[in-house]
A and B are shown apart, each in its own frame.
Chain A
């Protein structure tokens, strides 16, 4: 790896971390405000930052509540149960949050970056190399996603088991069975996309979604696989353990489920990982089904509308548009997940598993079979 490659990788990592952590923090605010709008309320609007030595209070629609929460969690006592397994207890939160962050490494958040064209003064240093906007452009993309999201199960199980609390244990059992079931559904729904695009490399999958179908429809995954898109989103929300699938932490039944015995920032890490996972599920959905960073009828040189009308754009604008498109789509998906969370009641454990194994799984398999047969018929 040469110095320019290294520099670009660092910039990408910084960008991805900033985006994810900001999403995690902002989503707490979005959730509050969206829930408030849905239920005819004003929502959190009390936290403020006062400019020192003045009486000017910045409230900004309650945007600082996220900061206040974070600060509160940091300053709280780290209360531990009397008897607990120290190692597993400490590992739990990390195994919950790190895999979620790592999943984002293979998600492309923009098209191809040509730093030489963007910064002509550095053109010589970069030597005309181009970089896909993706931290790890590896071929095993989707496999990596599933490998990492599988680790979060261990985080939840460890946290629940090590706390030596019956409610935590019940939460851990629920988490384990739920995550494994829905992981399977998720994997099977994605297979349809893999068949159609012929690759598991997420970067290539997004590139293949940049054209049009029938001349006007954007060639997004949701156009080829509308059914799989719905199933994937359901399974994704279930993976994230949020209402209606929040049984592992069902507040009214299990207090806080597998992280009942966690307090202060350790509990905050679980919460944060949940919010980041909203963004990650959104990012994965956008990548697989919503054309990733692609705007309809836009390619690396500009817009080409169905009528044949073309609007060329400079490379800088293309990069900015792609980054913003991706963030915008992810944000929409996050907002949709929050909408679902504030609308539906929660499942029961047996109903949840029945839903996964008797409803979603057969549908996912049927979807896969139909896709495979259709592709075979097309080739034959």
Chain B
């Protein structure tokens, strides 16, 4: 009968958490390997009974040196890395990065490319929101609702794979355009999936929206006020759930968002239920946008006709020396981006996804900085966890939708 005392071991990473502040409290490490911390993150929590007294969120376990690694790759070859930031909606990352480079080079996209990028970004946003809501529901034990959402997400993934060749990390964006045009029948299948999505999402609405257990778990839990959300730099669904209609798609219209008709769903008081509902409503809005974009899509070139960034036709490469040289230079030296710096932000699925690029000329970036929403959110997430129950930590953290890839870069 020799059990070690539970609270006296020193905390190697957070000395402030070696001892609890309140008598009788216990420090628990939730993560970095714990079912609730999808991705890898550590939440050091002081709990008194079941109540969370204070938490410290410790990220960095998935750090892979994305920004440094970018500095030794050409502007084009780092697109696969960008995919791996937010792997739930990789296309949004692609397009945000490509647009930042295009801004440096002063490239104007073709209308078809613009519409298609917008369509795919919204499609990815749906996939991301489905993942987030599904994961949050699963963690609360609602397995069937989780499986409904993941089923439809899988249709989306398979469908995007038909276009891009990959289910999750698509590497589909190209500077000045896209990798390839839509395959035959892609848009018909898209409409089919959107209709099926209505069915599946309606089922989830039916299962949980007015479920008393669900409401009790989500309402008034993880509340954050607008002022505090802005102070901590929150963006995206978290900020909108507090009732603030901030959305880059409306505020600084990029791609084709200026031509689209859509609403910004907002919450009432910034609790988990609001975040759940904002995401579900955004799925509806994205569907609405996609349906508009399907009508707007006109045949035309997919990439700009600009030899600085677009690879020449393969046929021309084999037959014309000029095309061959362009191909060679673009592949070997990379795209020549003029010296300068720029910041360009897109509304990612989780919030403002910005790229700050510095170029000193040449084919390799001098600096690539990613302003990822998840990383900023991790700075203030403890405000949503402290003071609630241990069990609330799980849906709250789920509704923040921390994506390890973009948080730790």
| A344 with B147: CB separation less than 8 A | no
Q: A244-B213, A253-B390, A350-B50 are in contact. Are A345 and B141 (CB under 8 A)?
A: yes
Q: A344-B211, A345-B214, A345-B217 are in contact. Are A35 and B143 (CB under 8 A)?
A: yes
Segment with Cβ contacts to A, from B13-21, B157-165, B360-368, B391-399: B391-399
Identify the closest chain B residue to A161 (Cβ): B3
Is A170 in the interface zone, CB < 8 Å from B?
A: yes
Question: Which of B6, B141, B211, B392 is A243 in contact with, Cβ under 8 Å?
Answer: B141
Q: Which residues of B contact A39 (CB under 8 A)?
A: 143-144, 147-148, 151
| B36 with A35: CB separation less than 8 A | no
Question: Which of B6, B26, B144, B393 is A343 in contact with, Cβ under 8 Å?
Answer: B144
Q: Which residues of B contact A286 (CB under 8 A)?
A: none
| B35 with A251: CB separation less than 8 A | yes
User: Which of A35-90 touch B at CB < 8 Å?
Assistant: 35, 38-41, 83-85
Q: Which residues of B contact A347 (CB under 8 A)?
A: 213, 216-217
Q: A344-B213, A345-B213, A350-B50 are in contact. Are A253 and B393 (CB under 8 A)?
A: yes
State A247–B390 Cα separation when bound (angstroms).
11
Is B260 in the interface zone, CB < 8 Å from A?
A: no
Is B166 in the interface zone, CB < 8 Å from A?
A: no
Identify the closest chain A residue to B397 (Cβ): A252
| B4 with A170: CB separation less than 8 A | no
State A312–B391 Cα separation when bound (angstroms).
58
| A349 with B389: CB separation less than 8 A | yes
Q: Which residues of A contact B180 (CB under 8 A)?
A: none
B92 vs chain A, min Cβ distance (A): 27
| A40 with B151: CB separation less than 8 A | yes
A338 vs chain B, min Cβ distance (A): 11
Q: Which residues of B contact A164 (CB under 8 A)?
A: 3-4
Is A166 in the interface zone, CB < 8 Å from B?
A: yes
Is A148 in the interface zone, CB < 8 Å from B?
A: no
Q: Which of B140, B142, B147 has the most CB of A within 10 A?
A: B140
User: Which of B203-241 touch A at CB < 8 Å?
Assistant: 207-208, 211, 213-214, 216-217
| B35 with A167: CB separation less than 8 A | no
How would residues 217 to 250 of chain A score, 1 for a CB under 8 Å from any chain B CB and 0 otherwise?
Answer: 0000000000000000000000000011011001
Is B2 in the interface zone, CB < 8 Å from A?
A: yes
| B144 with A342: CB separation less than 8 A | yes
Number of interface residues of A (CB under 8 A): 32
B381 vs chain A, min Cβ distance (A): 17
B145 vs chain A, min Cβ distance (A): 8
Is B34 in the interface zone, CB < 8 Å from A?
A: yes
Question: Which of A41, A246, A255, A350 is B35 in contact with, Cβ under 8 Å?
Answer: A255
Is A129 in the interface zone, CB < 8 Å from B?
A: no
State A169–B5 Cα separation when bound (angstroms).
13
Q: Which of B34, B141, B390 has the most CB of A within 10 A?
A: B141
Identify the closest chain B residue to A167 (Cβ): B28
Is B137 in the interface zone, CB < 8 Å from A?
A: yes
Identify the closest chain A residue to B142 (Cβ): A345
User: Which of A133-186 touch B at CB < 8 Å?
Assistant: 164, 166-167, 169-170
| B141 with A40: CB separation less than 8 A | no
Q: Is the interface of A mostly helix, strand, loop or mixed?
A: loop
Is B1 in the interface zone, CB < 8 Å from A?
A: yes
State A182–B3 Cα separation when bound (angstroms).
31
A354 vs chain B, min Cβ distance (A): 9
Q: Which residues of A contact B208 (CB under 8 A)?
A: 345
| B26 with A345: CB separation less than 8 A | no
Identify the closest chain B residue to A256 (Cβ): B35
Is A351 in the interface zone, CB < 8 Å from B?
A: yes
Is B139 in the interface zone, CB < 8 Å from A?
A: yes
| B3 with A85: CB separation less than 8 A | yes
Q: A39-B151, A345-B211 are in contact. Are A250 and B28 (CB under 8 A)?
A: no
Is A358 in the interface zone, CB < 8 Å from B?
A: no
Number of interface residues of B (CB under 8 A): 36
Q: Which residues of B contact A345 (CB under 8 A)?
A: 137, 140-142, 145, 208, 211, 213-214, 217
Identify the closest chain B residue to A244 (Cβ): B213
How would residues 8 to 51 of chain B score, 1 for a CB under 8 Å from any chain A CB and 0 otherwise?
Answer: 00000000000000000010100000111000000000000010
State A307–B217 Cα separation when bound (angstroms).
52
State A166–B47 Cα separation when bound (angstroms).
11
User: Which of B116-160 touch A at CB < 8 Å?
Assistant: 137-145, 147-148, 151
User: Which of B177-201 touch A at CB < 8 Å?
Assistant: none
Q: Which residues of B contact A251 (CB under 8 A)?
A: 35
Question: Which of B28, B142, B391 is A348 in contact with, Cβ under 8 Å?
Answer: B391
State A35–B3 Cα separation when bound (angstroms).
41
State A346–B139 Cα separation when bound (angstroms).
9
Q: Which residues of A contact B139 (CB under 8 A)?
A: 252
Identify the closest chain B residue to A36 (Cβ): B147
| B142 with A166: CB separation less than 8 A | no
Q: Which residues of A contact B141 (CB under 8 A)?
A: 243-244, 246, 250, 252, 344-346
Identify the closest chain B residue to A243 (Cβ): B141
| B207 with A343: CB separation less than 8 A | yes
User: Which of B39-89 touch A at CB < 8 Å?
Assistant: 50
A63 vs chain B, min Cβ distance (A): 22
| B144 with A35: CB separation less than 8 A | yes
Identify the closest chain A residue to B218 (Cβ): A345
Q: A345-B142, A347-B213 are in contact. Are A40 and B28 (CB under 8 A)?
A: no
State A68–B3 Cα separation when bound (angstroms).
36
A332 vs chain B, min Cβ distance (A): 20
Identify the closest chain A residue to B1 (Cβ): A85
B204 vs chain A, min Cβ distance (A): 11
| A40 with B394: CB separation less than 8 A | no
Q: Which of A83, A251, A255, A345 has the most CB of B within 10 A?
A: A345
25 contacts between A and B (CB under 8 A): A39-B147, A40-B147, A40-B148, A83-B2, A84-B3, A85-B1, A85-B3, A166-B6, A169-B6, A243-B141, A243-B143, A250-B141, A251-B35, A252-B35, A252-B36, A252-B140, A252-B394, A255-B35, A343-B144, A345-B141, A346-B141, A346-B217, A347-B213, A348-B391, A351-B216
Known interface pairs A252-B140, A348-B392; 8 further A-B residue pairs with C-beta atoms within 8 A, sorted by A's residue number = A35-B143, A166-B28, A250-B141, A251-B35, A344-B213, A347-B217, A348-B216, A348-B391
| The 4 residue pairs across chains A and B that have the minimum distance between CB atoms | A346-B141, A39-B147, A252-B139, A345-B140
